[in-house]
Structure 1
Amino acid sequence: MTLPPRKVAVLGATGSIGASALDVIARHPQALQATVLAAGGKVEALLALCERHRPEHAVIADPACFELLRDGLRARGLAVQAHCGDQALVELAGSDACDTVVAAIVGAAGLDSTLAAARAGKRLLLANKESLVLAGELLMRAAHEAGATIVPIDSEHNAIFQCLPDAHAHAGLKRILLTASGGPFRGRTRSDLGEVTPEQAVAHPKWSMGPKISVDSATLMNKGLEVIEAHHLFGRPGLPIEVLVHPQSLVHSLVEFVDGSTLAQLGLPDMRTSLAVGFGWPQRIESGVSGLDLLAHGKLEFERPDLDAFPCLRLAFQALAAGGTAPATLNAANEVAVSAFLQRRVGFLAIPALVEDTLAALPPTPASSLAALREADAQARRHAEQAIGHAARTLRA
C-alpha cells in the first residue's frame, strides 16, 4: 500500500523529538512534507532546519526573535513565511497548512497548539505529555468530537497503542504495565541522592532528551506523568495502571488480558520507531531503526520502582486518584521545581518535596474548564516559587 501524502507541522522542531521526526520525514519525501517548523527561541537552529527541509512556514515562539528569523530566511533566499508567538502556533496547527501535527513542545506551553490541532481534526502525534496531564479530559473530548486521530509518541504509550489498535482489542483488558528504565540513579537510596548535580541528572543512560525531561526521568516524575497520560488515552474506571522498572529499555510496555494473555511491544530505544508508527499507521513505514536482536542483548530484567527513593511517582499516582485539578497542580509545581534545580537554586531532593508541599496546600477542585485548569496551574506555580523563595531566605538568615 502507498502511504497517503501528509503535510506535517513539527512543533518543537529543534528538540530531540523534532530532530527524530524530521529524520523520518526525510526518509519518505514522496509522502511526508514538513510544511510548518516551530521552535522556542533557537533561531539559528530553526534557520538551519528551514534550509534543509524547505517548509512553507517557520514559527519562533519568542517575539523578540522574530526579526532575526525573518531576516535570516531572506538572507538565505528561502521562500518561507516567518511567524512569531503562541497565537501563530495555534492558528497554523489548526489551519490547512498541515494535516498532521507533531506536538513536541515541552511543558504546558504546548497545550494551546495541541488543543488547536485536536479541535481541527488533525492526525496528532502527541509527544507533549503535559497536554494530557494538564487537560486530558478536555483534549480527549475535543479529539473525539472533531474526529482527530491521536497517536502517542512516548515509547510506552506508543507500545500500548500498538497492542490495543482498536476498540475491539480493549475487550477483556485487565491491566496496563508501563515500563521505566529507572533513570540514571536506579538502585540508589534516598540518602544517596542529596548531592546529585544537574549534570548527573540530565545524563540519561538510554535516551537523548532535553534537560527538563531528563530530570523528570531521573526523579521518575516522567513515569508518573505517563501514568496519568495512559489513564486518559487508554484507561477506564477501575483499570489498574502499574509501573515496572526495566533497565534494558527494550520492552516498552505491556497489556494484560483477563484470559492470562500478555502482549508487549519490543524494540530498540529510538523515538523514530514511535514516530514512524504515528506517520504511517495503520501502515508500517521504514524508520531508520534496526530490528531487535534479542540474542545479542541477552536477559531482560524487571523490578518494582523504589517509591521511597523516588517519591515523585507516588505523588503522581496520588494526584491521579485525587482527580480534578490535582494533576495540573502536580505538573506545574514540578515544572517550577525542576527549573529551580537546573538553575542550582534547590537540590535534587527538593523537587518531590516542593511538589508534595504544593499538592497539600492546594486541594483539588473540579477540572470543569480550561480556565479552571489554567488557574490551578498558575496557583501552583506561585506557591512553588514562594516556597523556594522562603527556603532561600531561611538559609540566608
Structure 2
Amino acid sequence: MQFVDEASIIAEAGNGGSGCMSFRREKYVPKGGPDGGDGGHGGSVYLIGDDALNTLIDFRYQRFYKATNGRPGQGKQMSGRAGEDLHVKVPVGTTVIDEDTLEVIADVTEIGQVVLVAQGGRRGLGNIHFKSSTNRAPRRTTQGTDGERRNLRLEMKVMADVGLLGLPNAGKSTLIRSVSAAKPKVANYPFTTLVPNLGVVKLGQHEHFVMADVPGLIEGASDGAGLGLRFLKHLTRTRLLFHVVDVAPFDESDPVDAAQAITLELGQFSPTLAERPRWLVLNKLDLLPEDQRDVVVDDILARLEHDGPVFCISAISGEGTSALVQAAHRWLTEQRQLESEDEQAAEYEREMCRRMEDEAVARTETRLGHQRRKRLDEGDDDDDFDDDDYDVKIEYAP
C-alpha cells in the first residue's frame, strides 16, 4: 500500500436548475395563467471522515470531484429535480485548505465528521412567482446560480497521542516495536523509516494510547532537508513528544549536539510545537558498560540543561520502556481529565492546535512555492504535486 499524505483536488458543486416560463393551456380553462415551475438546487460536495482510510493515495488518481446539476423546472408547476450531493471519504486527521486563499476550511478529526467544501448552486424561479394583480402573464424567470468550484489541498496528519522525534538511527523504530505491535523496518543504516508508523501501546484492558514514529530529522529539516519538513507536520497532532537520543552513536558524534540540533529544527518549523511537553529519552544504554552509564548520562544532562522528565532506556532489550509508557499513559489521562473539567485548559489546548496548524500550513506553502518556482525555471509548468510515494504499513495491537 502506498502512503500519500498530501494531495490537491478540485471540488465542483452542481449548478442550480433554471426556472421555467410556462402558461396553463387546458380545454375549458380560459386564461389559465402562469404555471412555470422552479429549477432544482445543485448538489454540494462534502468530505466525510472515515477511519478505514489511512492514506490519500486515491486522490492522486482522481483529482476532480463534481456533484450533479439541478434540473430545470417544467410546466404545470413542476419543480426540477435537485442535484445529488457528492460525499467523498477522507482519512480522519485530514486538513482541508483552500489553495487559492490559503484558508484552512476544516480539520476532519472525528469519524463521520461531515465538512461542506463546495456549495451547490441555488435554483431558479419559474414565472409563477412573478404574477400579480397588475401582471397577469409574467414572462420573467430567473436562472439557477453556478455551483461553487474550489481548488483544495488535503493534508493528512496521523492521529496519535505520543510522537517520537530524533535523528536517524536514534532507535525510534526499535522503541515503537518494543512497546506495541507495530513492526516498522529496523536496520543499522540511517533513514530506514521513510513514512510514519503508528503503534497502539496497551497497558491493560481499556488502557492504551497511540504512538507515532516519523522519519528521522537532520540538520536543515525545517527548511526541507531530508524528509523532515514533509513529516514534521504529523507531530502537530500529538500531545506529548518523546525526544529519543542515542547515547552511544556509532559515528562517535556528541549526543548533546544531536539533541540541540533537533530542538532547533523543531522550533524553526513550529514555535508552538516546540512548546509541547517534550520528554528526553536517552536510548541504547545497553551499548555502554554498566560502570559508565551514570557518568555518560550525568554529562549529557549537565550540558543539555533539559528541564522536563528524563528516561534512560534500552529499546532493543526493553529496559526502562515499561516505566516510560506507564508515565506517558498517566500524563495523558491527567491531561484529558483536566481538559474535561476545566474549560480554560480545553480552550488553551484548542488554541495551541490552531497555532500549530497555521504554522504548519505556512511552512507547507513555502515549500510548495519553492517547488513550483523550480519547475517553472526548468520549463515544467505542470502544477501537479509529484512528491515520491512510499510504502507504509500501519499496524495496531490485537
**TM-score under structure 2 length normalisation:** 0.29
Structure having the higher strand fraction is: 2
**TM-score under structure 1 length normalisation:** 0.29
